[in-house]
Amino acid sequence: MIIKKIFVGALLGLAAQAAAAQLPAGAATLPIVKTTSFRPDTFAITKYGAVADGLTSNTAAFRQAVAACSQAGGGVVLVPAGQWLTGPVELKSNVNLHLAAGALVQFSGKMADYQLIKTSWEGLAAVRNQPLLYGKDLENVAITGAGIFDGAGPAWYMVQKARTLEGEWKKLVASGGFLNEKQDRWYPTAQALKGTTVKEGGVLSAEKPNVADFAEIKDYLRPDMLVLDGCRRILLEGVTFQNSPAWTLHPLLSQDITI
C-alpha cells in the first residue's frame, strides 16, 4: 500500500513537471497595463458657452473645450451637473472627459447631426455614422466621473409590431416613419428602411469604395456609443453609458485599457 502511494505520488509529480514544461516561457506572467495620468488643469464646458437646458446644442462647446485642453498640454474637461444636449464628441490625447455627479450628456437624436465615416464593423472595413464619442490614434485618454451618457438610441431603432401593444403600435405609426412591405416593422426614416433591402449594407467593397456610396442608406448605419480606434492608455471609470444606437463600448485595435 505504501509503495502504491509513493508510485502514484511520483506519477503526479512527473505529470505536473511535464505540464509545466509545456507552458511557454513567461506564460504565468501577466502583462503590465500602462495607466493614464493627467494634468490638474480643468476646462469646464460652461466656459465655452455650454448651456444645461437640455435644448441648446452644445456640440461646439464640447469641441472647443476638448481642443483647448489638448492644446494646453492636457488636463480635465469638466461637464458640471445638468442636462447637456450635444452632437458627437471627438476626444484627444491627454484629455480626461469628466462628468460631475448629476451630469447627463444627452446625445442628439437628429440623424443629420452625424456624418458618415470609414470605420470597422464586425471585423469588416465599413461605413457608419460617426460614433457619439470617438478617438483615433490617441494616447492617454479617459472618460470618468459619476454622470450619464445617453445615446438617444430609440431615435434610430427599428420597432417590431409583435413586440408592442396595439395602442403603442398605432401611436407609433401615426407619428410618422415608414413600414416594411409586411407592415410589421416600423423604421424612423426612409433611409433606415432602405438599408434593410441592401445586401451587406455599409460594407466597403470594390463596387462601393467611397463614403458617398452609402448616402442613400445613411440612417440605417447606426453609430456606436464609444469607439477608440488604435488608442493606448485608456481609462473608463464611473460613468454610465445607456441607450446606445448600436454597440456601446468599442475599443478597436487599442491597448492598455482600464475599465
Determine, yes or no, domain membership for 201: no
Same domain? For 75 and 62 the reply is yes
SS3 per-residue string spanning 44-88: EHHHHCCCCEEEEECHHHHHHHHHHHHHCCCEEEEECCEEEEECC
Whole-number Å distance between alpha carbons of 86 and 91: 14
pLDDT digits (tens, 9 = 90+) for 27-46: 567 778 889 999 999 999 99
Q: Could you tell me the CATH number of the domain that includes residue 104?
A: 2.160.20.10
Residue 248 inside a domain? The answer is: yes
**What is the rounded average pLDDT of the residues 66-86?**
98
Are 89 and 133 in a shared domain?
yes
In a domain, residue 165? The reply is yes
Whether residue 61 is found in the same domain as residue 184: no
Q: What is the pLDDT of residues 212-233, one digit of tens each?
A: 999 999 999 999 999 999 999 9
pTM listed for this prediction? 0.86
Query: Do residue 65 and residue 105 come from a single domain?
Result: yes
> Does any domain span residue 35?
no
DSSP 8-state symbol, 221: S
**147 lies in a domain?**
yes
Query: Between these two residues, 4 and 202, which has the higher pLDDT value?
Result: 202
* Cα(92)–Cα(94) distance, integer angstroms: 7
Q: How many domains does the chain contain in total? A: 2
Residues 111 and 58 in one domain: yes
pLDDT of residue 23: 52
- The reply to whether 72 and 185 lie within a common domain is no
Residues 138 and 163 in one domain: no
Q: Is 114 found in the same domain as 227?
A: yes
Contact 70, 93 (CB under 8 A): yes
| Same-domain status, 142 and 96 | yes
Same domain flag for 151 and 163:
no
Please report the pLDDT score of residue 11 as a whole number.
36
The fraction of the chain above a pLDDT of 70, given in percent, is 89
Q: Which three cell numbers mark 30? A: 501577466
Residues 106 and 77 in one domain: yes
| 22 within some domain | no
What is the domain range of residue 248?
A: 42-120+129-155+222-258
Q: Could you tell me if 174 and 75 lie in one domain?
A: no
